[in-house]
Amino acid sequence: MDLTDLRAAFAGRLLVDADAMSPFLTDWRRKWTGRAVAVAQPDDAAGVAAVLRWCRSQGVAVVPQGGNTGLSGGATPAAQGHSLVLSTTRLQRIRALDPVGQTITVEAGVTLQQVQDAARDAGRLFPLSLAAQGSCTIGGNLATNAGGVQVLRYGNARDLCLGLEVATAEGELWSGLRALRKDNSGYALRELFIGSEGTLGVITAAVLKLFPLPAAQHVALVAVPSPAAALALLALAQQRLGAELTAFELISEACLALVERHVEAARRPLAEASPWYVLVELSSARGEAAATQGFEALLEAALEAGHASDAALSSSLAQFRSLWALREDISESQGAEGPTIKHDIALPITRIPDFIEQTEAAIARHFPGLRLVVFGHLGDGNLHYNLSPPRSGLSAAEFLALEPPVNRLVHDAVDAAGGSISAEHGLGVLRRDEAARYKPAVEQRLMQALKQALDPLNLMNPGKLLGQRDLNHHHASET
């Protein structure tokens, strides 16, 4: 591979040394490791386009990478070592902020936290929020259509984006940085690149939506007897709080017990254990008193209707944070118990109670002893449907050997309920082939046709997102 031209154009911004490249070749969870011819770190959009033109001329595949926090292996190059990692982390400028139009224009390598901070400094809210926000980039958030905890109110990354600038596979720069809320002037190309996991082009900048900062925020941990009761509470909260309802998270008793066991500072705010809980967040423009009153009235009505058995409402910032921590610390606490099997699934919301009941019974039947760790963004129909090994009697290797059949059981049930096997983490390599099993053949052919049109040489993140499947085969639930 002749890197002379690239070295000359990107002096100091092209890594070829094994040690310097290694952080870019392994993912956050150290689940995948690959090799690459080089890591390029251009510092502007024109540089990204130039790297792509070089790759095209040499027939070298490109793996776009932002903060490298993705959970599906999409940003890790393949083991063969024929591709180039294109890191966007030097695309660092905030190009514009319009507090009245409520938009911010940022380059792809700006971290999510930096966008939130810039918005807050201008008295505005950028509502996308997730645990990796200090490291993940806006480019990566858009490329995976990230979700997080406030999708219920503000939508996912796709809903928060008005315009994009993209370096195409051909190495051209498309400036679609329109700060327009209405634009019916043809195909919505922006939508194609959002959620495409680097397989169609490289996002170099975006126009994002901002919102007013809430005047008051409260959260309550509410004990509920069942997922069905949690849904009844959701309907009540939507009716009473309207747009003030900003998060609605489901937590099982097993999750809370894990956090209590592994996080020293964790305190259970309710006296009695309950099989399920929801964390309800309210954000109000009407000020402290109105927010507290509205929330208390909701909780009273929920207790009266039997949708809830107890509730603890935050009355200070410290309490707000410690209640949220009970939800945010679940993943890490589960990890502290040993190996995990995880699913990031979406379901039509009303089917969630039946799904939980039936799938738990099926798992107990086929895989006795496995422990369920179920939580998630109930208001968005998104569950993190996780499993841990039994406390004894199964080695880590034996447990992990069960992953394929457990995945099949869970994902077949998701498919039968009209759901999706990837709600917010993308397909990457993790779910690529499973998605090919469930997506209708015609949908896969349309996706392949788009890929062929936008990336005819198959150089943009090949081997990610699009699975290999005989497209003449029937879809699992078409037969």
Ligand X SMILES: Cc1cc2nc3c(=O)[nH]c(=O)nc-3n(C[C@H](O)[C@H](O)[C@H](O)COP(=O)(O)OP(=O)(O)OC[C@H]3O[C@@H](n4cnc5c(N)ncnc54)[C@H](O)[C@@H]3O)c2cc1C
Which of residues 62 and 229 has its CB atom nearest to ligand X in the complex?
62
Phi, psi angles (nearest 5°) of residue 190: -50, -45
d(CA 430, CA 212): 37
What CA dihedral angle connects 458, 461, 463 and 464, to 10 degrees?
A: -130
Phi, psi angles (nearest 5°) of residue 387: -135, 145
The answer to whether 68 contacts ligand X (rule: CB under 6 A) is yes
The answer to whether 345 contacts ligand X (rule: CB under 6 A) is no
Which of residues 93 and 240 has its CB atom nearest to ligand X in the complex?
93
The answer to whether 75 contacts ligand X (rule: CB under 6 A) is yes
The 3-state DSSP class for residue 127 equals: coil
The answer to whether 430 contacts ligand X (rule: CB under 6 A) is no
Q: How far is the CB of 74 from ligand X (least distance, A)?
A: 2
Residue from the set 77, 140, 171, 195 that interacts with ligand X by CB under 6 A? 140
Q: How far is the CB of 369 from ligand X (least distance, A)?
A: 28
Residue from the set 36, 71, 84, 173 that interacts with ligand X by CB under 6 A? 71
The answer to whether 131 contacts ligand X (rule: CB under 6 A) is yes
Q: How far is the CB of 197 from ligand X (least distance, A)?
A: 4
Instruction: Point out the residue whose Cβ comes nearest to ligand X.
Output: 140
Which of residues 137 and 314 has its CB atom nearest to ligand X in the complex?
137
Burial 258-271 (b: 16+ CB within 10 A, else e): bbeebbeebeebee
Q: How far is the CB of 31 from ligand X (least distance, A)?
A: 11
Looking at this protein, which amino acid is placed at residue 331?
S
What CA dihedral angle connects 266, 269, 274 and 277, to 10 degrees?
A: -80
Q: Which of residues 143-202 bind ligand X (CB under 6 A)?
A: 143-144, 146-148, 197-198, 202
Which of residues 313 and 459 has its CB atom nearest to ligand X in the complex?
459
Residues in binding contact with ligand X, number by CB under 6 A: 36
> CA of 59: how far to CAs of 52, 53, 62, 170, 260, in Å?
10, 10, 10, 11, 53
The answer to whether 106 contacts ligand X (rule: CB under 6 A) is no
- For the chain, first and last CA: distance in Å? 48
Residue from the set 137, 246, 334, 420 that interacts with ligand X by CB under 6 A? 137
Residue from the set 132, 208, 231, 414 that interacts with ligand X by CB under 6 A? 132
Please answer whether residues 115 and 106 qualify as being in contact, where contact means their C-beta atoms are separated by less than 8 angstroms: yes
Which of residues 74 and 294 has its CB atom nearest to ligand X in the complex?
74
The answer to whether 127 contacts ligand X (rule: CB under 6 A) is no
Which of residues 63 and 106 has its CB atom nearest to ligand X in the complex?
63
Looking at this protein, which amino acid is placed at residue 437?
R
Q: Which of residues 203-222 bind ligand X (CB under 6 A)?
A: 203
Q: Phi-psi bin for 348: left (phi > 0), alpha (psi -120 to 50), beta?
A: beta
SS (H, E, C) 57-99: HHCCCEEEECCCCCCCCCCCCCCCCCCEEEECCCCCCEEEEEC
Containing 195, the helix (H) or strand (E) segment is none
Chain residues in the site for ligand X (CB under 6 A): 28, 63-71, 74-75, 88, 108, 130-132, 136-137, 139-141, 143-144, 146-148, 197-198, 202-203, 424-425, 428, 461, 464
